[in-house]
């Protein structure tokens, strides 16, 4: 038993650098302390262990942040990150909600990870990540402090995401100069990626435009045990047992993992054919055991004629994008930057191609390239 | 058992030698791994390998009996998760064998019993340029540049009001009093259109008043804090009832004092501001229930002299003695009347060398910070004699705010957001007159921060990071508050119906805040033994 644990450890060590290994191992260990076999969660210890940082209205490396109470009833806070502009390197405190000045400013609504149970918008790792996103995409980032499981099950996290989306969409100061509309992207890591998908669905139903979804290692699953789950169970800091625990904690009691929240294209899922779903960038870590479900998600989008780009990072483990010290990290950040900025140059021609692509259930990107010759 | 700050020793947990100077209690900043610092962890690059090995040991130990761990975690007391070396060691102590006494780059392969070079990570170092991998971790800079804002959506007039407040403060700073005066008038007009029941409208009114006083009455401002001691005590009592800040302070300090007094039969608590003695019934009762029986408890309460001949200190002492008698705790009380804390001399406290001493300061130390940083300023004098008492513990609770900045505009801005957050939290209180009087209590603080200067300005709050530096420099080391104190503080909060309060752990200290903004911070300290100063560095 000890021997096979050692083998798994060594494999993980060879895939990542030392400080990344220390970070994800520390998380894994800490998380093991928090999940109880009876399905309850040691929330006090979780909050004690979580490293948090306050918002800072003074720019640091060109980014400043402040917290906003979006909904008093549920104490829903979000942390807003904005770039300090060249004209105004030191923002006036009274003007934190000043109008964005650029022609087009992407607003990225970010949902942190933690498998629905861990972390907060003010967790240090996510504060750092959101600041990077601001610089990378010249965007405003809104990090939502959604309610967590097991105290708050489905659909609380989606409800909070939806509240945040409506709030963002209705802020005059977030509208781009070009068209007086808020240019919204949804992004998330792990459970946050799952939330982004479901919030996008609600957006479509209500006629709110979402320009794109960025799903970093999104959390999906299903009843069946897939090949990658069997092959990678216990390796690279993730186990099937912990995945099952988190789904049991989030899904309504008595539901199994084919519930559409967990398995959106499964037996209880719905087809997205004919629906104007936002384009998606899906990043899959090749050493993560849930990748078969993530790949199935991508397939599900493609089959429904939706625009999706898959970034399969073969040698990446969970949490690889938390520290900027790997090739995977830089590849992914480059793609995110392109994904968000490409919106600015959408032409009529591109929009036509998108419709044709959807009708023919063809990968839009390929078709466009063919059209250009 | 309380843990002390291991960073005050030059080697990690493995060696016993202590650093030579009492003033340097932090590792050289350049060696801290910059990337992990961004994730909230402080660990030296040179120690990463050691931490990794210990994580591996824990991994193996946990692999053998995973279900036990969550149970063990519920019972274990854990400390300072930011200090990875300490944190991992404490986990090992709880869950596995203690760590080895010397760090090594070799692990013994348990199956083959051969020494294996543990170099797995070296081959995996990426070839991308590692820019800022070990950035110079400048804590000083990040500390001085912090401004935390939590805001709810305000209507336009609210935003305009904030704008005008800032402009007015700027005028005051630059000396343009005529513009400042006309702005006061405009703001008072605007107030009638803004919701003054909650949010920025409520707190704006108090700031306008304070600015007005500063402009028109000069900065003596004696009248602001000029309520009688009796009045102040009443307001303080209602602030205690209306919101959890003082309860948290008392509760957390008592926890730490209780632990520090473990095993001692004669204990002496020195309270720097007795007020109505609200903190002490709980400690007396906890001591009464102590396994092995209660110690002899002496309490010395410091407070202002009563003008009307009453000995209010003694009255409080009598009441506490009554309580102690009812739970069979031998108790003695002594009152020390002093208008200012710096007037107290250690001999007045009559500390017995055989007793374990706890010095308790709830929002008092900041009053000793004068406007000039002279060599023997009151804070230095007082900290020095506290150290001379060699207390088992010194509990310090302070407002988590930067209200002692020299620049008026900076101070004003910080105070505006600090107090609007605090007022916001008070909205949850439904009880009157507690709420109204608590608001007056806070209002007086605002008045002092904004409209007073020099010796009249006593509300010189400084953030925890500054206190850490100051106290370390004065020969104290931090005693870490652990996960049990955290949990109990969190549970205390659930007794309050308001959802927005949260307890946070910050390198061994606990803070209580509203909506992610810490407002009050509690820490515990011990004097570094004097003989450490004579040891040479290794």
Joined tokens for residue B245:
């800040």
Verify whether the Cβ–Cβ distance B150 to A55 is below 8 Å: yes
A vs B: CB pairs below 8 A: 217
Distance from CA of A258 to the nearest CA of B (A): 27
For residue B490, give the chain A residue with the closest CA.
A44
| Whole-number Cα distances in Å, A230 to A5, A7, A97, B66, B476 | 16, 16, 49, 20, 54
Distance from CA of B57 to the nearest CA of A (A): 10
Using a CB-CB cut-off of 8 Å, the residues of chain B touching A123 are: 40
Using a CB-CB cut-off of 8 Å, the residues of chain A touching B150 are: 55, 66-69, 77
Verify whether the Cβ–Cβ distance B88 to A5 is below 8 Å: no
pTM: 0.83
Verify whether the Cβ–Cβ distance A125 to B491 is below 8 Å: no
The pLDDT value given to residue B103: 40
- Does residue B177 sit at the A interface (CB-CB below 8 Å)? no
Phi, psi torsion values for B503, nearest 5 degrees: -100, 140
Joined tokens for residue B522:
């509690």
Residue with tokens 């530096």: B469
No. of H helices and E strands in chain A? 12, 8
Interface test with A, best of B164, B507, B516, B518 (most A CBs within 10 A): B516
Distance from CA of B372 to the nearest CA of A (A): 27
Mean pLDDT to the nearest integer, A231-239? 86
Q: Is the pLDDT of residue A372 over 80?
A: no
Task: Report, in this order, helix, strand and coil percent for chain A, each rounded to 5.
Answer: 45, 15, 40
Verify whether the Cβ–Cβ distance B78 to A48 is below 8 Å: yes
Q: Report the DSSP beta bridge partners of residue B398.
A: B521
Lowest pLDDT segment from A162-171, A307-316, B18-27: B18-27
Residue from the list B59, B121, B517 with its beta carbon closest to the beta carbon of A5: B59
b/e sequence B394-407, b meaning 16+ C-beta within 10 Å: bbbbbbbbbbbbee
Radius of gyration (C-alpha) of chain A in whole angstroms: 20
C-alpha count within 13 angstroms, C-beta hemisphere, residue B183: 24
Cβ atoms of A22 and A326 within 8 Å: the answer is: no
**Dihedral (CA of B79, A131, B469, B415) sign:** negative
For residue B50, give the chain A residue with the closest CA.
A22
Using a CB-CB cut-off of 8 Å, the residues of chain A touching B40 are: 51-53, 123-125
- Does residue B162 sit at the A interface (CB-CB below 8 Å)? yes
Distance from CA of A314 to the nearest CA of B (A): 15
Residue from the list A2, A47, A128 with its beta carbon closest to the beta carbon of B39: A128
Using a CB-CB cut-off of 8 Å, the residues of chain A touching B41 are: 23, 26, 51
Verify whether the Cβ–Cβ distance B149 to A93 is below 8 Å: yes
For residue A66, give the chain B residue with the closest CA.
B149
Verify whether the Cβ–Cβ distance B128 to A93 is below 8 Å: no
The pLDDT value given to residue A4: 59
Cβ atoms of A57 and A65 within 8 Å: the answer is: yes
Phi, psi torsion values for B448, nearest 5 degrees: -70, -45
Measured from the Cβ of residue A348, the count of other Cβ atoms closer than 10 Å reads 7
Residue from the list A14, A54, A128 with its beta carbon closest to the beta carbon of B146: A54
Cβ atoms of B483 and A45 within 8 Å: the answer is: yes
The pLDDT value given to residue B260: 95
* Chain Cα centroid distance, residue A236: 20
Distance from CA of B174 to the nearest CA of A (A): 17
The pLDDT value given to residue A368: 46
Distance from CA of A257 to the nearest CA of B (A): 23
For residue B142, give the chain A residue with the closest CA.
A60
Residue from the list B60, B142, B165 with its beta carbon closest to the beta carbon of A5: B60
Q: What is the DSSP letter of B391?
A: -
- Does residue B39 sit at the A interface (CB-CB below 8 Å)? yes
Using a CB-CB cut-off of 8 Å, the residues of chain A touching B198 are: none
C-alpha count within 13 angstroms, C-beta hemisphere, residue A112: 27
Interface test with B, best of A51, A58, A164 (most B CBs within 10 A): A51
b/e sequence A74-113, b meaning 16+ C-beta within 10 Å: bbbbbbbbbbbeeeeeebebbebbeebeeebbbbbbbbbb
Task: Dump the DSSP string for B429-479.
Answer: ---TTHHHHHHHHHHHHHHHHHH--GGG-------HHHHHHHHHHTTEEEE
User: How many Å apart are CA B505 and CA B466, to the nearest integer?
Assistant: 17
Q: Which of residues 115-134 of B touch A (CB under 8 A)?
A: 120-121, 123-128, 130, 133
Residue with tokens 């060594």: A10
Q: Is the pLDDT of residue A359 over 60?
A: no
Q: Please name which of A3, A27, A20, A4 lies closest in space to residue A238, comparing C-alpha atoms.
A: A27
- Secondary structure element (H or E) that encloses residue A78, with its range: strand A76-83
The pLDDT value given to residue B535: 44
| Whole-number Cα distances in Å, A324 to A135, A238, A249, A340 | 14, 21, 31, 19
Taking phi first (over 0 means left), then psi (-120 to 50 degrees means alpha), and beta for anything else, what does residue A138 get?
left
Using a CB-CB cut-off of 8 Å, the residues of chain A touching B72 are: 33
Joined tokens for residue A222:
């299903």
B117 CB contacts (<8 Å, ≥6 apart)? B105, B106
Mean pLDDT to the nearest integer, A77-96? 77
pLDDT per residue as tens, chain B (538 positions): 455 554 433 333 333 232 333 333 444 556 888 889 889 999 998 898 889 998 888 888 777 666 667 777 777 888 889 999 888 888 888 776 554 544 433 333 344 433 333 444 433 333 333 333 333 445 555 555 678 887 775 667 777 888 899 999 999 999 999 999 999 999 999 888 877 766 677 889 999 999 999 998 765 544 445 567 788 889 999 999 999 999 999 999 999 999 999 999 999 999 999 999 999 999 999 999 999 999 999 999 999 988 777 788 999 999 999 999 999 999 999 999 998 899 999 999 999 999 999 999 999 999 999 766 666 789 999 999 999 999 999 999 999 999 999 899 999 999 999 999 999 888 878 888 889 999 999 999 999 999 998 888 999 999 999 999 999 999 999 999 988 899 989 988 888 656 789 899 999 999 999 988 999 999 999 999 875 544 444 3
User: How many Å apart are CA B155 and CA A320, to the nearest integer?
Assistant: 42
User: How many Å apart are CA B219 and CA B456, to the nearest integer?
Assistant: 8
Task: Dump the DSSP string for A263-322.
Answer: -TTSTT----TT--PPEEEEEEETT-TTHHHHHHHHHHHHHTT--EEEEEETT--TTTTS
Verify whether the Cβ–Cβ distance B59 to A325 is below 8 Å: no
Q: What is the pLDDT of residues A43-65, one digit of tens each?
A: 999 999 999 999 998 899 999 99
Q: Is the pLDDT of residue A325 over 90?
A: no
Cβ atoms of B352 and B365 within 8 Å: the answer is: no
For residue A326, give the chain B residue with the closest CA.
B126
Q: Report the DSSP beta bridge partners of residue B156.
A: none
The pLDDT value given to residue A96: 76
Joined tokens for residue A321:
């994008």
- Does residue B49 sit at the A interface (CB-CB below 8 Å)? yes
User: How many Å apart are CA A182 and CA B462, to the nearest integer?
Assistant: 40
Verify whether the Cβ–Cβ distance B62 to A6 is below 8 Å: no
**Complex confidence, ipTM:** 0.83
Cβ atoms of A135 and A164 within 8 Å: the answer is: no
Q: Is the pLDDT of residue A271 over 50?
A: yes
Q: Which of residues 61-100 of B touch A (CB under 8 A)?
A: 62-64, 66-67, 69-74, 78, 81-82, 84, 88, 91
User: How many Å apart are CA B46 and CA A237, to the nearest integer?
Assistant: 24
User: How many Å apart are CA A222 and CA B458, to the nearest integer?
Assistant: 62
Residue from the list B110, B130, B503 with its beta carbon closest to the beta carbon of A325: B130
User: How many Å apart are CA A24 and CA A290, to the nearest integer?
Assistant: 17
Phi, psi torsion values for A279, nearest 5 degrees: -65, 150
B470 CB contacts (<8 Å, ≥6 apart)? B379, B383, B462
């Amino acid at each position: 038993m000890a021997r096979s644990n050692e083998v798994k450890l060594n494999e993980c060590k060879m895939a990542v650098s030392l400080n990344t290994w220390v970070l994800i191992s520390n998380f894994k260990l800490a998380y093991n302390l928090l999940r109880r076999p009876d399905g309850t969660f040691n929330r006090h210890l979780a909050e004690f262990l979580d490293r948090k940082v306050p918002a800072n209205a003074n720019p640091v490396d060109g980014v400043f942040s402040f917290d906003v109470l979006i909904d008093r009833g549920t104490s829903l806070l979000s942390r807003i990150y904005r770039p300090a502009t060249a004209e105004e390197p030191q923002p006036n405190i009274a003007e934190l909600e000043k109008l964005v000045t650029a022609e087009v400013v992407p607003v990225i609504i970010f949902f942190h990870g933690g498998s629905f149970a861990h972390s907060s918008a003010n967790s240090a790792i996510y504060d750092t990540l959101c600041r990077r996103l601001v610089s990378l995409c010249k965007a405003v980032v809104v990090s939502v402090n959604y309610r967590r499981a097991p105290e708050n099950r489905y659909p609380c996290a989606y409800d909070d995401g939806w509240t945040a989306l409506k709030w963002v969409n209705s802020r005059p100061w977030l509208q781009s100069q070009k068209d007086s509309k808020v240019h919204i992207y949804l992004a998330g890591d792990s459970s946050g990626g799952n939330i982004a998908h479901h919030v996008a669905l609600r957006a479509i139903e209500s006629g709110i435009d979402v320009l794109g979804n960025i799903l970093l290692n999104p959390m999906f699953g299903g009843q069946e045990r897939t090949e990658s789950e069997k092959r990678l169970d216990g390796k690279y800091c993730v186990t099937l047992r912990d995945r099952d625990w988190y789904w049991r904690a989030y899904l309504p009691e008595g539901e199994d993992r084919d519930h559409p929240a967990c398995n959106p294209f499964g037996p209880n899922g719905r087809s997205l054919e004919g629906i104007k779903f936002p384009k998606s960038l899906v990043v899959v870590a090749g050493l993560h055991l849930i990748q078969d479900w993530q790949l199935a998600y991508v397939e599900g989008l493609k089959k429904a004629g939706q625009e999706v780009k898959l970034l399969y990072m073969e040698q990446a483990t969970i949490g690889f994008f938390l520290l900027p010290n790997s090739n995977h990290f830089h590849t992914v950040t480059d793609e995110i930057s392109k994904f968000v900025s490409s919106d600015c140059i959408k032409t009529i021609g591109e929009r036509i191609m998108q419709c044709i692509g959807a009708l023919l259930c063809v990968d839009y990107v390929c078709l466009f390239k063919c059209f250009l010759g | 058992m309380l843990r002390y700050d291991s960073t005050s020793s030059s080697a990690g947990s493995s060696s016993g030698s202590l650093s030579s100077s009492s003033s340097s209690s932090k590792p050289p900043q350049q060696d801290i791994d910059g990337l992990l610092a961004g994730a909230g962890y402080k660990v030296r690059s040179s120690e990463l390998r050691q931490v990794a090995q210990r994580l591996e040991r824990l991994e193996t130990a946990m692999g053998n009996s995973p279900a036990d761990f969550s149970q063990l975690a519920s019972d274990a007391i854990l400390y300072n998760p930011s200090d990875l070396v300490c944190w991992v060691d404490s986990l090992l102590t709880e869950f596995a064998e203690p760590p080895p006494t010397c760090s090594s780059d070799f692990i013994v392969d348990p199956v083959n019993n051969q020494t294996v070079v543990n170099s797995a990570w070296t081959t995996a170092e990426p070839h991308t340029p590692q820019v800022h991998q070990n950035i110079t971790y400048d804590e000083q800079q990040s500390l001085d540049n912090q401004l935390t804002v939590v805001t709810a959506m305000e209507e336009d007039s609210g935003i305009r009001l904030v704008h005008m407040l800032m402009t007015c403060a700027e005028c005051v700073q630059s000396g343009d009093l005529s513009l400042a005066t006309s702005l006061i008038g405009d703001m008072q007009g605007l107030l009638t259109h803004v919701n003054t029941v909650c949010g920025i409208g409520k707190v704006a009114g108090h700031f306008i008043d304070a600015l007005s006083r500063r402009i028109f009455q000069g900065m003596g401002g004696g009248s602001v804090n000029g309520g009688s001691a009796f009045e102040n005590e009443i307001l303080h009592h209602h602030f205690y009832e209306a919101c959890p800040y003082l309860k948290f302070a008392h509760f957390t300090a008592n926890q730490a004092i209780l632990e520090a007094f473990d095993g001692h039969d004669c204990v002496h608590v020195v309270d720097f501001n007795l007020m109505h003695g609200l903190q002490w019934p709980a400690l007396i009762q906890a001591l009464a229930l102590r396994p092995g029986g209660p110690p002899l408890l002496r309490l010395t309460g410091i407070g202002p002299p009563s003008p009307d001949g009453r000995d209010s200190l003694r009255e409080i002492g009598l009441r506490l003695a009554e309580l102690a008698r009812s739970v069979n705790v031998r108790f003695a009380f002594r009152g020390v009347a002093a208008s200012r804390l710096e007037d107290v001399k250690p001999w007045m406290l009559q500390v017995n060398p055989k007793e374990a001493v706890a010095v308790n300061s709830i929002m008092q130390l900041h009053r000793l910070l004068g406007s000039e940083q002279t060599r023997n300023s009151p804070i230095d004098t007082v900290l020095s004699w506290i150290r001379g008492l060699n207390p088992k513990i010194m509990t310090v609770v302070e407002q988590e705010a930067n209200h002692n900045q020299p620049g008026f505009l900076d101070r004003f801005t910080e105070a505006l957001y600090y107090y609007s957050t605090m007022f916001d939290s008070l909205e949850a209180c439904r009880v009157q007159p507690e709420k109204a009087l608590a608001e007056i209590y806070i209002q007086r603080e605002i008045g002092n921060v904004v409209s007073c200067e020099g010796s009249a300005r006593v509300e010189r709050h400084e953030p925890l990071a500054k206190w850490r530096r100051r106290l370390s420099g004065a020969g104290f080391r931090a005693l870490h508050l652990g996960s049990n104190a955290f949990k109990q503080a969190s549970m205390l909060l659930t007794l309050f119906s308001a959802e927005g309060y949260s307890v946070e752990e910050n390198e061994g200290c606990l803070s209580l805040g509203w909506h992610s903004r810490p407002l009050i911070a509690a820490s515990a300290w011990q004097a570094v033994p004097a003989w450490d100063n004579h040891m040479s560095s290794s």
